Structure 1
């Protein structure tokens, strides 16, 4: 008997070691990438490893049944681990193919079925030597039949799967062969159990299974590597796509649609010279009426859906647009080529029909309206920015006078009057100190303490109440008041820092956003130095936030300003990182301290593998370059835990705290 058992024991022990190594590789892969399907494959390989461990310690032979309780316990554990190997393998394949987590009901139901089936097949006839054959059928023939049917079903599932690739096909062939092996064994074990050659068949299948399980393990490894490579390529493609397109609607972003408009203008000019045509371009600006009401009434998801649907309708217009882009929140650009003015009139009606067509979202029917302002190339302007400006003037005239569509006309002064009025109100607001700062706390993930706050401006309008930046920043930019306004906000931030120290003996770093115009101001460094001296603030408690596009406007001057600021001890961070078109290209050269990952990547980081890959790459890359990382827009505990696991240094978002007025920030300042 010993001569028979020893080679088997050695074989199972060796296989246990091999699968322990494989299990460690799966564990490292899961810790690194946190893929849901790898977790189930990790449990599957672990169950298979334990089954080999049991076989190596308790030699098992189909012809040597025992009523000993230890032998029965070993058989029960072996059945549980073998069924666990099978069901977790199936769960992993399903999740890998569909990118969906299993419900707790399915998972608990599967585990319960494993335990019940294992107990029934092991305990029935186990203590009656006269029922040895029936016990054999339950512990050997029945599992072989279940394994055979399951593996063949898995092979059929993979055969008809549309997303088939190499490792998937290998697993399909493996499942088909393995399924036939188990079905054949189940049938033969019933009809030929007493035949002298059956024992030799079992010995052959024993070595066959050892080799097959090893092949399965390496097949799953190849699958995971291929999946990561595909995820990386998808992330790169998505990053390139987001550099040119609006992440919400898929339309071109402002920079790209303006570049495309310029290209079309050059093409049209060249074509008209050669063919002596009179083709022109019509540039339409479209704005959705009372879109804030849609968001407030139906929710942000519905608003996002409508914006995406509008972009899709415009892109698929029968007028074959030359360019479609989203310029801001609910503002779109639509460019067509035309020869006769009647064509433009039909296009205007067509745009309104597209927007006013009913939107359906989860049993809800929503109808909206839009305002349209437009101008022509080359009649109204010969530069893309001028065309945009004049279309915007026409749009503003349409909205102000509640007219559906307005074409630009020389002499339009509506926007001018509006800007004159706004300039007067803004300067009065600054003089009367009507702007207030709200502060959004930033949490350090390593100390779980307040790291600092981001200063966010609000306008306490005497008539309209509290206004968000979107209600006045555009006018500030148009009026060229950014220098004055940024200095004003810096003064308020420094005053707040001084006040907190006097009242609470507490210093908290305040991050202030700086615009492109102010950051390129040669007096910026001198002004900040004077403010720090005037209010007695250590330089490390003021942080300046700039966007990627600010840096790219004048890379040389930007780098020079950053170096000077850092020499003073002032930290500079890149805000909204990942949304610019040249993030990775210049990150290595920028002497910045912190990178703030844009909220668009955090929204689905816990459920979207592409976003997870992008965020992980950003964190690793930033840390590799010696820069800290802060993630914006954290709204759930899952996002927080995942970012903590990825090594992110700090976070901010509504899950931590919404922006607070100073009166409510006091509770943070009082804590030591």
Structure 2
């Protein structure tokens, strides 16, 4: 019996060695690329290899192989390895097409089920000579039918797969042929089991299967090579895409949008139409990142790019230049189209962004220019649209079209930027202090810090000569921190010289007040100068509060918890409502000087100021009137119940040397 089995054993041994080599190749692929489907195929090939080693070596090394039980065990083991290999083959193909990832427990259950099925079919009728045919049907016909159905099913799966490529087509044809082979064998084994030609057919199929399995291994190798080549091509395409597009939003990057603008300019010139180049900058985007997180900020930038790209105005180019700045280029024939487009852009930006069922609202500033009216090349168009955008942001306007005078303003700002930065570095700014008189005690209540620029050439300059430029250049944050530090420094100096402390009020801009680091920066200054918080007061305008009411209220609460006073400056000139004023936890309201000028002679102003005082007291706020210049104004305000005043009648803004007179007076 052993002698008869040796040719088959050598065939199976050869097959086992061939699959060992193939498995090693798959192993090296897996180590290099770490594709999960390669891992599944490697396990399948290992299972086949193990099965061939078992069926090849067992009759060669065991003299007991002629025993029926031994043959049954070896046959069942071989059949189980074939089932397991089929399982891993199918799972690997499915994973390659859909990234499906079964759990280890699912694999264990499937393998145990296959083992139970194999043991049951192999052992049933195994030792009953009268049931030889039934045993054959269970161990040969039924597995052939199962294999045939599985391979036919695989061919249909690959046929309907939309991601068709050469290796999948090869595998489809192979699966169809193998499926038909197993189904045909299954049916023929039932009909012609006792025929001599069927036995000869089985011998032919033995060699056919050996060859087919080797072919299958090479088809899978072709698949892997094709997949890696496809992945490499995708990587190259993606690198080329990222070279032209912003990786976050998918819009064109700066280089490509400028190149696209140059191309569109040529076609526009031939068509005798015009281009509008819009620059869009998102207001206070840092606040979005700080409040909602960078992930939300990235989502909003991507959504903005999508909205602009899909605009009904069919843009010629949409690009992200940097950060939260976008370019939008459209073709137009009439100026009315530009007006509608400008309004449309704001509508796109203002529409709520929904993230995790949360509505987020933002606004944008827009500057734009025209081709060929304003420039003949892309860089000049960008520069002039940027000047218009800068003008819009500086003057708090929603949209601004470029005008010729803006270039001179741009050159002026370049000069001023250099001078103002040098002034900050050289400490050329000084503080003047305007006393505030408490009308109840007739004593100094505090001082308001007012900045002056000691220009090396022009002398002492008032804020009107440089504050607007400071804001236009974008130095207001740095400047506010500089003034805060200087005010704390003066306060510490007074205490050291005169052992007196007074409240110093400092004006804070909207941008600085909404800075998430404001509270932390103030805490550091108070610690550095050993200044009690109650001697620092921050003055903000109504417009600062209304920019972002919720954020403003949170910041005010944090400051007051530290012991810092917060007041509303220039009250009556902004647009705050009584409802918000009632909610704001501020300490003091400062009535603007425009209402005080004629308070002693104009009944309307008198009524307005009286209402403001009564309203403020009703809300539990103290009241200070600015711009008091006559004794009559002072008497009227005292009669109305105003808590404190400041103005030229009390004293004009003075340097800290002249403030000495207030410290040397008895408390």
Q: Would the TM-score normalized by the shorter structure come out above 0.5?
A: yes
Query: What do you get for the CA RMSD once the two structures are aligned?
Result: 3.4
Cα offset, 1:174, TM superposition: 1.0
Aligned twin of 1:114: 114
Describe how 1:217-228 pairs up with structure 2 within 5 A. 217-228=217-228
User: Which runs of no fewer than 5 residues in structure 1 stay unpaired?
Assistant: 433-459, 466-672
- Partner residue of 1:314 out of 305, 308, 313: 308
Q: Aligned pair 1:351/2:338, yes or no?
A: no
**Taking structure 1 as reference, are residues 346 and 171 closer, same or farther at Cα in structure 2, changes over 3 Å only?**
same
Q: Which whole-Å CA distance do the structure 2 matches of 1:248 and 1:337 have between them?
A: 26
CA pair 51-336 structure 1, distance change in 2 beyond 3 A: same
Q: Report the equivalent of 1:231.
A: 231
* Total equivalences in the alignment: 429
Q: Deviations over 1:433-461 (max 9, x none)?
A: xxxxxxxxxxxxxxxxxxxxxxxxxxx96
Q: How far 1:418 sits from its partner (Å)?
A: 7.5
Judge conservation of contact 1:249–1:308 (CA < 8 Å) in 2: yes
Distance 1:127 1:358, change over 3 A: farther
Tell me what 2:198 maps to: 198
Supply the distance in 2 between the matched residues of 1:302 and 1:338 (Cα, whole angstroms): 34
For residues 493-517 of structure 1, the C-alpha deviation after alignment (integer angstroms, 9 at most, x for no partner) is xxxxxxxxxxxxxxxxxxxxxxxxx
* Alpha-carbon shift at residue 102 of structure 1 (Å): 4.0
Q: After TM superposition, list the pairs within 5 Å mapping 1:335-414 onto structure 2.
A: 335-359=329-353, 366-412=360-406
What is the CA-CA distance between 1:100 and the residue it aligns to? 4.7
- Deviation readout 1:366-389 (Å, 9 max, x if unpaired): 554333221222333334233223
CA offset digits 1:324-383 (Å, max 9, x no partner): 111112221011122221110111122223334454556565554333221222333334
Kindly indicate whether the alpha-carbon contact (under 8 Å) linking 1:257 and 1:325 is maintained by their aligned counterparts in 2: yes
How much has 1:95 moved relative to structure 2? 1.9
Report what 1:214 is aligned to: 214
Q: Quick check: 2:2–2:66 contact (8 Å CA) kept in 1?
A: no
Q: Which residue of 1 aligns with 2:453?
A: none
Within 5 Å, give how 1:166-315 maps onto structure 2. 166-269=166-269, 271=270, 277=272, 279-296=273-290, 299-315=293-309
Q: 1:338 & 1:362 partners in 2: Cα distance? A: 38
Matched-pair contact (CA < 8 Å) for 1:307–1:330: yes
Counterpart for residue 511 of structure 2? none
1:332 pairs with 2:326:
yes
Partner of 2:629: none
SS of equivalent to 1:175: helix
3-state SS of 2:233 partner: helix
* CA–CA separation in structure 2 for the residues paired with 1:17 and 1:428: 83
Residues 37 and 91, structure 2, Cα contact 8 Å, conserved in 1: yes
The answer to whether the 8 A contact 1:359-1:367 is kept is yes
Distance in 2, matches of 1:294 and 1:424, equals 32
Match of 1:18 in 2: 18
- Between the aligned partners of 1:315 and 1:390, the Cα distance in structure 2 is 23
Moved more, 15-24 or 154-163: 15-24
Counterpart of 2:82 in structure 1 is 82
3-state DSSP class of the match of 1:251? coil
If asked which structure has higher relative contact order (CA below 8 Å, sep 6+), I would say 1
Q: Deviations over 1:87-133 (max 9, x none)?
A: 11111111222245444454444334333433433454556666554
Give 1:144 deviation, angstroms: 1.9
Cα pair 1:67 1:127 within 8 Å, conserved: no
TM-score between the two structures when normalised by the length of structure 1: 0.57
Shift of 1:139: 3.1
C-alpha distance 173-347 of structure 1, shift in aligned 2 (>3 A): same
Q: Deviations over 1:42-91 (max 9, x none)?
A: 2222222222222212459xxx9977554444234323311121111111
Assess, with a 3 A threshold, how the Cα gap between structure 1 residues 84 and 461 changes in structure 2: closer, same or farther: farther
Residue of structure 2 in register with 1:537 after alignment: none
Q: What do the CA deviations read for 1:465-512 (whole angstroms, capped 9, x no partner)?
A: 9xxxxxxxxxxxxxxxxxxxxxxxxxxxxxxxxxxxxxxxxxxxxxxx
Partner of 1:48: 48
Structure 1 residues 198 and 341: CA distance shift in structure 2, 3 A = same
Partner Cα separation in structure 1 for residue 150 and residue 130 of structure 2: 31
Q: Secondary structure at the match of 1:380?
A: coil
Contact 1:8 1:59 in 2 (8 A): no
Taking the TM superposition and a 5 Å limit, the aligned residue runs for 1:451-600 are none
Structure 1 residues 258 and 131: alpha-carbon distance in aligned structure 2, compared to 1, 3 A threshold: same
Q: Provide the TM-score with structure 2 as the length reference.
A: 0.57
Shift of 1:184: 2.4
Displacement after TM superposition at 1:161 (Å): 0.9
- The one-character-per-residue Cα deviations of 1:298-326 (angstroms, maximum 9, x if unpaired) are 55444434333332332233323222111
* Inter-partner Cα distance in structure 2 for 1:296 and 1:119: 64
Correspondence for 1:664: none
Shift of the 184–294 alpha-carbon distance from structure 1 to 2, 3 Å rule, reads: farther
Query: Greater shift after overlay, 123-132 or 368-377?
Result: 123-132
SS state at 2:369 partner? strand
SS at match of 2:167: helix
- Paired with 1:421 and 1:123, the residues of 2 have a C-alpha distance of 96
Partner of 1:662: none
CA radius of gyration, larger in:
2
Contact 2:2 2:59 in 1 (8 A): no
Distance 1:32 1:358 in 2: 47
Q: Mark the CA change 1:421 to 1:35 in structure 2 (over 3 Å): closer, same or farther.
A: farther
Name the SS of the counterpart of 2:306 in structure 1: helix
Aligned position for 2:143:
143
For 2:125 and 2:425, the matched residues in 1 are separated by: 90
- SS of the residue aligned with 1:312? helix
Q: How many Å apart are 1:262 and its aligned residue?
A: 2.9
Q: C-alpha deviations, 1:567-618, integer Å up to 9, x for none?
A: xxxxxxxxxxxxxxxxxxxxxxxxxxxxxxxxxxxxxxxxxxxxxxxxxxxx
Cα distance change of structure 1 residues 121 and 368 upon mapping to structure 2, 3 Å threshold: farther
Query: How far does residue 154 in structure 1 lie from its aligned partner after superposition?
Result: 0.8
Structure 2, unaligned runs of 5 or more = 428-476, 483-667
| C-alpha displacement of 1:22 | 1.7
CA–CA distance in structure 1, aligned partners of residues 390 and 154 of structure 2 = 61
Partner of 2:162, secondary structure, is coil
Distance, in Å, in 1 between the alignment partners of 2:237 and 2:56 is 49
Distance 2:288 2:39 in 1: 41
Q: CA, structure 1 residues 67+297, in 2 after alignment: closer, same or farther (shift >3 Å)?
A: farther
1:371-428 deviations in whole A, cap 9, x for unaligned?
A: 3221222333334233223322332343444433222234448877887787677668
**More displaced 10-residue stretch of structure 1: 69-78 or 151-160:** 69-78
Pair 115,329 (structure 1): closer, same or farther in 2 beyond 3 Å: farther
Secondary structure, aligned partner of 2:205: helix
CA offset at residue 180 of structure 1? 1.8
